[in-house]
């Protein structure tokens, strides 16, 4: 929660010689974080982030209480002034001006007082100034008093026009589904049920308790008598209201965190004071106070050793006491054992010895603690860790000119193109409604964003796709995919071949059509029977696309290939030009040539002219230097095979 | 002696001008050879006063270089005349291979992994689509807890799991904590979890999909000073030896005590400037693992303690490099004009 506190207001409760910059620095190091200080005239305004567990610090007094404990740790004297009140009304379980029926599960403490004959008008300048300084608009004295006290003490208040509460009766209860209520801002809500509401003697709903008052009981310019109302609500109900009605007010934000029921008392007295002083109101002599289960202090126990073990530094017993006492926590040592009794305003956030530890640690100062790297055993490495392999693949592609992209896992309906996919319940927009099943649409998108590129382009990504499994989390499959543009089929296929080769994979490419690719333009890449991925030319914009299952590729990758002795005898190399019949697959030709004789070690395409392909054949024997005659015999074997199988003939 | 050297040099240069290709090699031996004129002088240096030796040595070396260059140049000219070498323009631009680029996120992942691997952290990977239990409930954030508001979570529209609740996109890498405890079972744990994370937000400073890195250490006798030490180590090795870390008290449901950690601003060297908060830049959250979280992960909090920290990867990397990318969405735009810069 981000709050604003004027320095001048803070000093109503904090007596210290420290300037605002010093206060901000010390608070940040040991308490709530001061995000910035703005100068406003002679005053300075702190912007402070209070964590959700410390609703007791939300407000001027709460911050002063923290500062008064923290500043002395930095050698700066500081003290807290208590909230002074003049009102001496009696807290009573019954009053004659209001009949009530309260569900205490919803409202652990209910207080109210009737104040008569108030004069409505603008509030005094200093109240208006302070409200403006923290970004709240002054309205009139009645409204301003409520807001002022809420920002000062962190306890919301509400005022009803007493004369609009029919029958001078209030029933505080859970709402029923479908009940209607119009709030102060003029909005009508159809309640989902389970909200905290107040019904008057005529059965009208007059308050959406803890969130906003009802329009029908609003204080207006003709109001004479007000009912000042200070409550403590069950945070769970308020939280649910906020979520289901999507209505968030400052009061609700406080109530949903769970407030201190003891805070009600001082707020009520201070409220009465201000109504007397500013609105010239005449309060009744009794305050209605329904508080069936008053706070009784709880105790948390820990030991000196616990503090030392968890912090890693010893802190003297009396220093621990001093720190805790300064925060209003009462300490009692019994040898090594410490019991800490928790004041009402910290009852919600302090439950465990670890919570006490945090209080000691932050006031002792993290900046005063040493830094150490843990000794102890180093954990076992992760079995079958994929990370080295993944970066190797990325670096290999990068080395050959690939540029890595990261695209969003969240895609549109068109981009998943399947009903068997995961859809978000609360997407940001229709372009990011689904978890993707393939990287292809994102990469095609990426390529088209770079259409102006004229140079060879290769974009790739390694990311997960999310394949649904009924009744379980999806399979998160790591994929490698890429697109090429402005490059030939051969050049790009070469990149894929080289990648697989450098990973020690013997892969085969088989032509198989599928709907996204141009006919005849798709190859399925396999290692043995395992399908690793695919490569080919897409129908869309003629982009060349490939994708692989990274884990499949990794499973057949051999990081160390076995050693093959280098041949001792020279090889013979010659170029053979073959004239092929049209529609002959060159891949088949080469495969067939290579397997025609054991002494052919490689066949490589070196030139193409129409149907004539020039192939560079390497003859190699492991046991001797081949003679011309022997080479001739092998060549004949190859050429015969070419003729028989493919009808290919030697050129001239 | 200076004069002698000077004369020798002038003589050599004059002879080079008129030499043909064979004579040139003769001159090279004569002046620069092991037993050549200049080396002769070098041998005589020993007889000079110690102070003078380096001066003369330097003059001899300069003369050697001048003669050598003159011979090489003459050689080149003579060769050109014979037609053995043609005129050649070496200033022609090279044919560069295509230069590839790894994305900034990958670069950051690699650097951060390496940094933590050096102190024994083990990198892991856990689901990005998770059950509510791992993302929230097991981390001490029951349903409807206001603390959950900080994580603007995406929910997946599949029926909830009877035990683990709704399916969510992980809003933080902390969802890996319980997974890691369950995997390792018996500490020590030093986990590094780097993953995609998702939050319902989109503006110049926020993207719905981003990355976080998370450390988790569980062992006997782990204390706050170890958390501080680890973050200090990270700051110095990742950001540079002069950078410092500070811990500020904070609150998370799954750690106690909890902190936010800041790194000293390198632009103003910690004095305070427009970009930072009084000399500090906020980096991430951290804390001592809450005993209930250890219990939820099957680890006995009586015997073991631990700490955890997490931070945004993109933000950390930008702070390291001083890159000021005014709109983080650019990172995920696939624009080559951007990607090629890294």
CB atoms B156 and A395 under 8 Å: no
With tokens 């990005």, the residue in question is: B128
Q: What is the pLDDT of residues A449-490, one digit of tens each?
A: 999 999 999 999 999 999 999 999 999 999 999 999 999 999
Q: What is the pLDDT of residues B139-156, one digit of tens each?
A: 999 887 777 777 789 999
Q: Where are the alpha helices (DSSP H) in B185-340?
A: 224-234, 291-296, 313-321, 336-339
Record the tokens describing residue B25, joined without a space: 């090699």
- Residues A117, A264 within the same domain: yes
- What lies within 8 Å, CB to CB, of B287 at 6+ separation is B227, B250, B252, B254, B255, B256, B257, B258, B259, B307, B308, B309
B111 assigned to some structural domain: yes
What SS3 state is found at A60? helix
CB atoms A403 and B336 under 8 Å: yes
pLDDT of residue A240 exceeding 90, the answer is no
Q: What is the pLDDT of residues A102-154, one digit of tens each?
A: 999 999 999 999 999 999 999 999 999 999 999 999 999 999 999 999 999 99
Beta strands in chain B (DSSP E): 122-124, 129-131, 155-161, 165-169, 189-198, 209-219, 245-252, 255-264, 280-289, 305-312
- Residues B53, B167 within the same domain: no
Nearest to B184 among A379, A445, A456 (CB): A379
DSSP 8-class letter at A123: P
A441 assigned to some structural domain: yes
Q: How far apart are CA A509 and CA A590, in angstroms?
A: 13
pLDDT of residue B196 exceeding 90, the answer is yes
Nearest CA in chain B to A313: B225
CB atoms B100 and A401 under 8 Å: yes
Q: How far apart are CA B22 and CA B77, in angstroms?
A: 14
Mean of the pLDDT values across residues A359-376?
A: 94
- Residues B21, B135 within the same domain: no
The CB density around residue A299, as the number of other CB atoms within 10 Å, is 10
- Residues A302, A273 within the same domain: no
Q: Which CATH number does the domain housing residue A129 bear?
A: 3.50.40.10
A377 assigned to some structural domain: no
SS (H, E, C) A281-325: CEECCEEEEECCCCCCCEEEEEEHHHHHHHHCCCCCHHHHHHHHH
3-class SS shares of chain B: helix, strand, coil, % to 5: 45, 25, 35
- Residues A191, A132 within the same domain: yes
Query: Residue B45's domain spans which residues?
Result: 2-82
The predicted pLDDT at position B43 comes to 84
Distances in Å between the alpha carbon of B69 and those of A185, B18, B23, B83? 93, 15, 16, 22
- Residues B59, B143 within the same domain: no
The per-residue pLDDT of chain B, averaged, comes to 89
Mean of the pLDDT values across residues A269-291?
A: 96
- Residues B185, B47 within the same domain: no
Nearest CA in chain B to A467: B129
- Residues A461, A406 within the same domain: yes
What SS3 state is found at A621? coil
The predicted pLDDT at position B85 comes to 64
The CB density around residue A555, as the number of other CB atoms within 10 Å, is 13
Instruction: State the smallest CA–CA distance between residue B312 and chain A in angstroms.
Output: 16
With tokens 């479908």, the residue in question is: A178
The predicted pLDDT at position A229 comes to 95
Nearest CA in chain A to B152: A426
B89 assigned to some structural domain: no
pLDDT of residue B272 exceeding 80, the answer is no
With tokens 């329009």, the residue in question is: A215
Query: Residue A485's domain spans which residues?
Result: 387-556
B87 assigned to some structural domain: no
Edge to edge, the sheet with strand A649-650 lists A600-609, A612-619, A572-579, A649-650
Total number of domains constituting chain A: 5
- Residues B251, B179 within the same domain: yes
B338 and chain A: CB distance < 8 Å anywhere? Answer: no
Q: What is the pLDDT of residues B224-239, one digit of tens each?
A: 999 999 999 999 999 9
Nearest to B233 among A240, A373, A379 (CB): A373
Q: Which of B82, B114, B145 is the last residue of a domain?
A: B82
- Residues A189, A125 within the same domain: yes
Residue pair A208/A190 in contact (Cβ under 8 Å)? The answer is no
- Residues B38, B143 within the same domain: no
Q: How far apart are CA A344 and CA A260, in angstroms?
A: 6
CB atoms A376 and B246 under 8 Å: no
Of B304, B318, B309, B290, the closest CA to residue B247 belongs to B309
A376 assigned to some structural domain: no
Q: Which CATH number does the domain housing residue A305 bear?
A: 3.30.56.10
Instruction: State the smallest CA–CA distance between residue A306 and chain B in angstroms.
Output: 10
Please report which confidence band the pLDDT of residue A84 belongs to, taking 50, 70 and 90 as the band edges.
Answer: very high
Q: Which of B30, B51, B82 is the last residue of a domain?
A: B82
A406 assigned to some structural domain: yes
Q: How far apart are CA A13 and CA A102, in angstroms?
A: 35
- Residues B233, B310 within the same domain: yes
- Residues A164, A216 within the same domain: yes
Q: Which of A290, A315, A350 is the last residue of a domain?
A: A290
The DSSP bridge partners found for residue A403 are: A459, B101
Chain B environment of A406 (Cβ under 8 Å):
103, 105, 331-332
Please report which confidence band the pLDDT of residue B72 belongs to, taking 50, 70 and 90 as the band edges.
Answer: confident
- Residues A8, A66 within the same domain: yes
Nearest to A36 among B128, B184, B277 (CB): B277
B219 assigned to some structural domain: yes
Q: How far apart are CA B24 and CA B75, in angstroms?
A: 7
CB atoms B157 and A53 under 8 Å: no
B156 and chain A: CB distance < 8 Å anywhere? Answer: yes
Total number of domains constituting chain B: 2
- Residues B46, B139 within the same domain: no
- Residues A210, A314 within the same domain: no
Distances in Å between the alpha carbon of A232 and those of A251, A255, A351, A650? 11, 8, 21, 99
DSSP 8-class letter at A108: S
Of A350, A347, A155, A235, the closest CA to residue B142 belongs to A235
B203 assigned to some structural domain: yes
Mean of the pLDDT values across residues A196-224?
A: 94
- Residues B72, B151 within the same domain: no
Instruction: State the smallest CA–CA distance between residue A386 and chain B in angstroms.
Output: 9
Q: How far apart are CA B32 and CA B39, in angstroms?
A: 7
Please report which confidence band the pLDDT of residue A87 belongs to, taking 50, 70 and 90 as the band edges.
Answer: very high
Q: Which CATH number does the domain housing residue A457 bear?
A: 3.30.930.10
With tokens 């589904």, the residue in question is: A177
DSSP 8-class letter at A601: E
B259 and chain A: CB distance < 8 Å anywhere? Answer: yes
Instruction: State the smallest CA–CA distance between residue A198 and chain B in angstroms.
Output: 24
β-strand A457-469 against A403-404: which pairing, if any? parallel
B158 and chain A: CB distance < 8 Å anywhere? Answer: yes
Q: What is the pLDDT of residues B149-189, one digit of tens each?
A: 777 899 999 999 999 999 999 999 999 999 999 999 999 99
β-strand A612-619 against A600-609: which pairing, if any? antiparallel
B93 assigned to some structural domain: no
Please report which confidence band the pLDDT of residue A314 belongs to, taking 50, 70 and 90 as the band edges.
Answer: very high
Chain A environment of B219 (Cβ under 8 Å):
374, 376-377
- Residues A440, A526 within the same domain: yes
Q: Which CATH number does the domain housing residue B255 bear?
A: 3.30.930.10
The CA radius of gyration of chain A, in Å to the nearest whole number, is: 40
Q: What is the pLDDT of residues A579-594, one digit of tens each?
A: 999 889 999 999 999 9
B102 and chain A: CB distance < 8 Å anywhere? Answer: yes
Nearest CA in chain B to A410: B209
Q: How far apart are CA B214 and CA A540, in angstroms?
A: 40
Nearest CA in chain B to A356: B257
Record the tokens describing residue A543, joined without a space: 């982009």
Q: How far apart are CA B254 and CA B142, in angstroms?
A: 11
Instruction: State the smallest CA–CA distance between residue B104 and chain A in angstroms.
Output: 9
Chain A environment of B259 (Cβ under 8 Å):
366
The per-residue pLDDT of chain A, averaged, comes to 94
pLDDT of residue B81 exceeding 70, the answer is no
B201 assigned to some structural domain: yes
Chain A environment of B147 (Cβ under 8 Å):
52-53
Nearest CA in chain A to B272: A36
Q: Which of A524, A556, A588 is the last residue of a domain?
A: A556
- Return the percentage of chain A with pLDDT > 70, whole number: 100
CB atoms B99 and A401 under 8 Å: yes
Q: Which CATH number does the domain housing residue A579 bear?
A: 3.30.70.380
A566 assigned to some structural domain: no
pLDDT of residue A378 exceeding 70, the answer is yes
Q: Which of A80, A115, A134 is the last residue of a domain?
A: A80
Instruction: State the smallest CA–CA distance between residue B25 and chain A in angstroms.
Output: 40
- Residues A115, A241 within the same domain: yes
Of A641, A652, A534, the closest CA to residue A593 belongs to A641
- Residues B176, B306 within the same domain: yes
Distances in Å between the alpha carbon of A651 and those of A112, A272, A301, A628, A637? 109, 111, 97, 20, 16
- Residues B140, B255 within the same domain: yes
Chain A environment of B188 (Cβ under 8 Å):
376-379
The predicted pLDDT at position A566 comes to 86
CB atoms A379 and B190 under 8 Å: yes
- Residues A357, A260 within the same domain: no
B199 assigned to some structural domain: yes
- Residues B170, B308 within the same domain: yes
A193 assigned to some structural domain: yes
Nearest to A51 among B119, B247, B250 (CB): B250
Q: How far apart are CA B54 and CA B56, in angstroms?
A: 6
Of B286, B287, B267, the closest CA to residue B277 belongs to B267
Record the tokens describing residue B272, joined without a space: 């305070």
Record the tokens describing residue A580, joined without a space: 């092929």
A595 assigned to some structural domain: yes
Q: How far apart are CA B201 and CA B243, in angstroms?
A: 31
CB atoms B224 and A311 under 8 Å: yes
Q: How far apart are CA B174 and CA B133, in angstroms?
A: 12
Q: What is the pLDDT of residues A518-562, one digit of tens each?
A: 999 999 999 999 999 999 999 988 899 999 999 999 999 987 667
Instruction: State the smallest CA–CA distance between residue B91 and chain A in angstroms.
Output: 23
DSSP 8-class letter at A499: H
CB atoms B225 and A311 under 8 Å: yes
Please report which confidence band the pLDDT of residue B24 belongs to, taking 50, 70 and 90 as the band edges.
Answer: confident
A565 assigned to some structural domain: no
B262 and chain A: CB distance < 8 Å anywhere? Answer: no
């Amino acid at each position: 929660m981000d709050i604003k506190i004027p320095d001048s207001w803070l000093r109503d409760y904090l007596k210290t010689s420290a300037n605002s910059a010093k206060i901000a620095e010390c608070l940040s190091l040991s308490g709530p974080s001061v995000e910035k200080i703005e100068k406003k005239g002679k005053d300075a305004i702190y912007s402070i982030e209070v964590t959700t567990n410390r609703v007791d610090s939300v407000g001027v007094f709460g911050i002063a209480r923290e500062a008064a404990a923290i500043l002395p740790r930095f050698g700066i004297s500081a003290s807290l002034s208590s909230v002074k009140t003049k009102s001496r009304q009696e807290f009573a379980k019954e009053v004659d001006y209001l009949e009530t029926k309260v569900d205490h599960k919803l409202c652990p403490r209910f207080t109210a007082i009737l104040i008569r004959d108030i004069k409505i008008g603008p509030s005094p300048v200093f109240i208006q100034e302070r409200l403006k300084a923290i970004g709240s608009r002054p309205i009139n004295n009645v409204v301003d008093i409520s807001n002022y006290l809420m920002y000062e003490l962190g306890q919301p208040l509400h005022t009803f026009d007493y004369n609009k509460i029919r029958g001078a009766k209030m029933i505080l209860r859970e709402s029923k589904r479908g009940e209607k209520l119009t709030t102060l801002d003029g909005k009508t809500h159809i309640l989902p049920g389970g909200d905290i509401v107040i019904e008057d003697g005529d059965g009208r709903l007059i308050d959406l308790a803890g969130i906003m008052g009802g329009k029908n009981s609003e204080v207006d310019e003709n109001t004479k008598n007000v009912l000042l109302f200070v409550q403590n609500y069950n945070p769970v109900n308020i939280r649910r209201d906020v979520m289901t009605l999507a209505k968030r007010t400052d009061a609700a934000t406080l109530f949903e965190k769970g407030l201190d029921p003891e805070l009600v008392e001082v707020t009520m007295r201070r409220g009465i004071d201000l109504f007397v002083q500013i609105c010239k109101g005449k309060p009744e002599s009794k305050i209605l106070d329904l508080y069936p289960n008053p706070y009784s202090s709880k105790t948390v126990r820990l030991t000196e050793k616990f503090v030392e073990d968890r912090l890693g530094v010893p802190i003297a017993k009396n220093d621990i006491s001093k720190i805790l006492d300064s925060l209003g926590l009462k300490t009692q040592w019994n040898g090594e054992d410490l019991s800490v009794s928790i004041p009402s305003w910290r009852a919600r956030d302090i439950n465990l010895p670890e919570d006490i530890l945090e209080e000691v640690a932050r006031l002792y100062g993290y900046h005063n603690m040493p830094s150490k790297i843990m000794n102890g055993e180093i954990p076992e490495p992760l079995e079958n860790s994929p990370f080295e392999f993944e970066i190797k693949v990325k670096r290999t592609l990068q080395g050959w000119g690939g540029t890595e992209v990261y695209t969003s896992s969240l895609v549109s309906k068109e981009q998943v193109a399947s009903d068997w996919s995961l859809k978000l319940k609360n997407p940001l927009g229709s372009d990011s409604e689904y978890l993707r099943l393939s990287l292809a649409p994102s990469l095609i998108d990426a390529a088209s964003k770079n259409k102006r590129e004229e140079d060879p382009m290769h974009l790739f990504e390694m990311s997960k796709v999310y394949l649904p499994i009924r009744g379980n989390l999806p399979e998160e499959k790591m994929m490698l995919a890429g697109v090429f543009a402005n490059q030939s089929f051969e050049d790009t296929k070469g990149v894929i071949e080289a990648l697989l080769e450098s990973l020690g994979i013997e892969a085969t490419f088989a032509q198989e059509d599928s709907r996204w690719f141009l006919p005849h333009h798709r190859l399925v890449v396999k290692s043995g029977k395992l399908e690793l991925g695919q490569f080919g030319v897409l129908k869309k914009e003629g982009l060349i696309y490939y994708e692989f299952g990274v884990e499949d590729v990794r499973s057949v990758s051999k990081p160390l290939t076995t050693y093959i002795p280098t041949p001792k005898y020279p090889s013979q190399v010659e170029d053979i030009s073959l004239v092929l019949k049209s529609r002959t697959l060159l891949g088949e030709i080469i495969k067939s040539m290579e397997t025609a004789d054991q002494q052919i070690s490689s066949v490589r395409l070196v030139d193409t002219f129409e149907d004539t392909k020039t192939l560079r054949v390497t003859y190699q024997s492991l046991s001797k230097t081949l003679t011309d005659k022997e080479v001739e015999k092998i060549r004949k074997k190859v050429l015969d095979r070419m003729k028989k199988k493919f009808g290919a003939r030697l050129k001239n | 002696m200076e004069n002698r050297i000077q004369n020798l040099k002038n003589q050599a240069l004059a002879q080079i001008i008129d030499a043909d290709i064979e004579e040139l090699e003769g001159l090279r031996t004569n002046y620069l050879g092991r037993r050549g004129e200049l080396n002769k002088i070098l041998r005589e240096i020993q007889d000079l006063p110690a102070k003078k030796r380096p001066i003369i040595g330097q003059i001899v070396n300069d003369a050697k270089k001048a003669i050598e260059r003159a011979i090489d140049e003459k050689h080149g000219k003579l060769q050109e005349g014979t037609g053995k070498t043609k005129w050649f323009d070496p200033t022609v631009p090279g044919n560069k291979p295509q230069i590839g680029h790894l994305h900034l996120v990958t670069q950051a992942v690699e650097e951060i992994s390496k940094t933590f691997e050096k102190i024994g952290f083990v990198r892991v990977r856990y689901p990005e689509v998770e059950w509510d239990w791992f993302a929230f409930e097991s981390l001490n954030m029951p349903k409807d807890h206001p603390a959950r508001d900080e994580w603007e979570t995406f929910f997946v529209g599949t029926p909830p799991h009877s035990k683990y609740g709704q399916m969510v996109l992980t809003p933080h890498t902390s969802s890996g904590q319980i997974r890691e405890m369950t995997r390792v079972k018996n500490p020590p744990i030093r986990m590094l979890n780097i993953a995609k994370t998702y939050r319902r937000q989109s503006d110049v400073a926020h993207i719905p999909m981003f990355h976080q890195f998370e450390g988790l250490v569980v062992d006997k006798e782990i204390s706050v000073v170890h958390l501080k030490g680890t973050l200090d180590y990270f700051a110095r090795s990742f950001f540079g030896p002069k950078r410092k870390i500070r811990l500020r008290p904070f609150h998370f449901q799954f750690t106690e005590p909890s902190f936010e950690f800041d790194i000293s601003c390198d632009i103003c060297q910690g004095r305070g400037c427009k970009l930072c908060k009084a000399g500090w830049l906020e980096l991430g959250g951290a804390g001592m693992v809450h005993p209930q979280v250890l219990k939820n992960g099957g680890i006995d909090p009586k015997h073991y303690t631990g700490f955890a920290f997490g931070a945004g990867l993109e933000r950390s990397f930008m702070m390291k490099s001083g890159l000021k990318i005014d709109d983080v969405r650019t990172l995920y735009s696939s624009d080559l004009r951007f990607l090629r810069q890294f």
